[in-house]
Amino acid sequence: MSYQGKFRVWRGDDSGGALEDFTVEVNEGEVVLDIIHRLQATQAPDLAVRWNCKAGKCGSCSAEINGRPGLLCMTRMSIFEESETITVTPMRTFPIIRDLVTDVSYNYTKAREIPSFAPPKDLAPGEYRMQQVDVERSQEFRKCIECFLCQNTCHVIRDHEENKEAFSGPRFLMRVAELEMHPLDTADRVDQAQDDHGLGYCNITKCCSEVCPEHIHITDNALIPMKERVADRKYDPIVWLGNKLFKRS
Amino acid sequence: MARAEIAARTLRTDRWWLPPLTTFVGLLLISIYAAFRTFQGDYYWVDQYHYLTPMYSPCLTEECIPAASHFGQWFPALPGFLTPPLLIIPFLLGFRITCYYYRKAYYRAAWASPPACAVAEPHDKYTGETRFPLIAQNLHRYFFYAASLLLLINIYDAVLAFGTGLGLGNIILLVNVSLLAAYTLSCHSCRHIAGGRLKHFSKHPVRYWAWTQISKLNNRHMQLAWASLIFVCLTDLYVALVASGTISDLRFID
C-alpha cells in the first residue's frame, strides 16, 4: 500500500528561505519523520532535521506539520488523505539554524534561571520518607520530554518576541510548580513565578496542554494552581482578613 | 539569528476557526437572552407553584413581588429601567467572566488572543494578565465566594417550591441547581481551596480526598460551564412561559 505523497518542506536559514515542493513515496505504517528521512536519502541529502529516538521520548524532532506543532516521529501518515499536500515547517518561535532545525537555547537560558530544589538545611539524608500521594502530584510534570512544543505554541512568545525576556513559558512555569508542590522545598516559588518568570502573561488559553505529546495537564495542574497560589497571597479576601486578625505576616 | 521566514499567519489546514466561532455565537446568544430577561422585569415568579427563576434570585428590592422576596426587600425600588437582577448579576457575571474556562473561551473567541493554537493573533502588543484591567481576573476567588452564597439561595428556592406539590417546574429547578452546584464545585478556585494549596497531601487525608473528588469534576469544567449556563436560560424560559400563562406547568402531584 504505497503511494506518492505531496509534501512542502521549508528550506533555508536565517538569511531567508521558502517552502519547496517534493513528491515522496509513502508506505503503510509510516510517520512523517520516515518521509523526511526518505527525502534526505533520495532527493535532498543536505536537508537538516534534528531527530534521535524515533519513539516520542527524546523530544528532538519537534516541528510543525500542516501548521500544527507536533513531533515528526509521532505524527502518523495515516491521518492524512493520500491526495493531501503536507506542509512541514520548523518551529516558529525559535531562531532558525537551517531547514527544520531551530536554536532552542532560549529554553536552556530559562531553565537556568530557576533556583534549584531547596530542602530544609537541617534535614539529614534519609531522614524524610516521601509518601506516594505526594510523589504522584509532581510525577506528572516529570513526564516532560522537553520537546519545547508548548513553548513554541504559546502565543505569548510565539506572536510577541519582545515577551521572551519576561516570560519563561509553560514548560518552565511547570518546573516552578513542580518545585513549589514538593513537600520539602523551602524556596519562595510563588513570588518567583509571578515576578521573575512572568506567570501573569499566561492567559490560560491551553495551547500548551493541547500540543503536549506526553498529555501533561500543564494548564490545569501546573499553571492554574500557581495562579491560585498567587491569588492566595495577594488577592484572597479571607486570607487577607485572617492575616490582619491574627497578625500573620 | 532570525526566525524562519514564513509569511502566512498560519499553515493550519483544518477548520481551526470553527470552535472560536461557535463559542462566540453561543455566548452572544446567551448574553442577548440574559439581557432581555434582566430588563424585562416581569414573569419571574409563578405564585401558584412558587417557582422563582434563578435570574431574579434573591429578589431584594421593593419592586419585587413580595412572595418572591424570600429574604426580604432590603433596597428601595430601582429608578427608571433598572430591575432587581442588576443587584446580583454583577456577582454571577463576575464569577463566569473570571472563570478559568470562560477566560480561555472568550480570549480565543472574542479577542483572538490567540484565535486557535498556532494561529497568529492580530494584536501588536500583549501583556496578558499582568496589568489593569486583566489583572482583575485574579478576583475570581471573591466571585467564587459570592457565587457559592447565591447557589445556596438558589437551592433554598428550589426546595421551597416543593411545598406546593410536584411539577415539571420542580424537576427543572432541581436539575438547574444540581448543574450550578457541579459547575461551582468544579471551579479551579474551589479545587485549590479544598486541597490544591497543600504541599503535603499525606498529612491532610480528608482534604486530599476532597481534592481528588473535585479534580474529577474539574476535568469536566468546560462541559459543566456550558451545561449550567444553557440550563439557567432554559429554566428561566420555562418559569417565564408558565408565569406569563403561555404554557401551564405539567403537574405530577398537587
CATH number at residue A159: 1.10.1060.10
Q: pLDDT digit string (tens) for B182-241?
A: 999 999 999 999 999 999 999 999 999 999 999 999 999 999 999 999 999 999 999 999
A41, A72: one domain: yes
Q: List, in sequence order, the alpha helices (H) in chain B.
A: 18-40, 89-97, 100-109, 140-161, 168-185, 188-191, 205-218, 221-243
Structural domain boundaries in chain B: 18-119+133-253
A87, A124: one domain: no
**CB-CB: which of A156, A228, A234 is closest to B128?**
A156
Cβ-Cβ contacts under 8 Å, A155 against chain B: 113-114, 120-121, 126
Of A216, A220, A189, A221, which is closest to residue A205 (Cα–Cα)? A220
A1 confidence band (pLDDT: 50, 70, 90): confident
Looking at residue A235, what is its pLDDT? 76
Domains in chain A, number: 2
Q: Look at residue A221 and tell me if it is in a domain.
A: yes
A187, A114: one domain: yes
Mean pLDDT, range B152-174, rounded to an integer: 96
Beta bridge partners of A95: B3
* Nearest Cα residue in chain A from B198: A181
Mean pLDDT, range B36-54, rounded to an integer: 96
Q: Look at residue A248 and tell me if it is in a domain.
A: no
A215, A133: one domain: yes
Maximum Cα–Cα distance across chain A: 75
Looking at residue B99, what is its pLDDT? 97
Grid cell in block for residue A31: 510517520
Main-chain dihedrals φ then ψ at residue B205, nearest 5 degrees: -60, -35
> Is B108 in contact with A205 (Cβ distance < 8 A)?
yes
- For residue A78, the enclosing domain spans 3-101
Cβ-Cβ contacts under 8 Å, B188 against chain A: 220, 224-225, 228
Distances (CA, A) of B150 to A9, A48, A176, B88, B90: 56, 60, 36, 8, 12
A183 touches chain B (CB under 8 A): yes
CB atoms within 10 A of CB A243: 13
**CB-CB: which of A90, A131, A238 is closest to B4?**
A90
Checking ipTM against 0.90, whether it exceeds it is yes
Concatenating the DSSP letter of every residue in A141-203 gives GGG-----HHHHH-HHHHS-GGGGTT---HHHHHHHHHHHTSTT--S-HHHIIIIIS-GGG--
Grid cell in block for residue B44: 419571574
**Does residue A214 or residue B254 have the better pLDDT?**
A214
CA distance linking residue B98 with residue A97, whole number of Å:
41
Percent of chain A at pLDDT > 90 equals: 91
Q: Look at residue A155 and tell me if it is in a domain.
A: yes
Number of H helices, E strands in chain A: 10, 7
Of B217, B231, B243, which is closest to residue B54 (Cα–Cα)? B231
Beta bridge partners of A207: none
| Residue A83's CATH number | 3.10.20.30
Query: Hey, what amino acid is at A80?
Result: F
A113, A224: one domain: yes
Query: Hey, what amino acid is at B246?
Result: T
A40, A122: one domain: no
Looking at residue B251, what is its pLDDT? 92
Q: Look at residue A247 and tell me if it is in a domain.
A: no
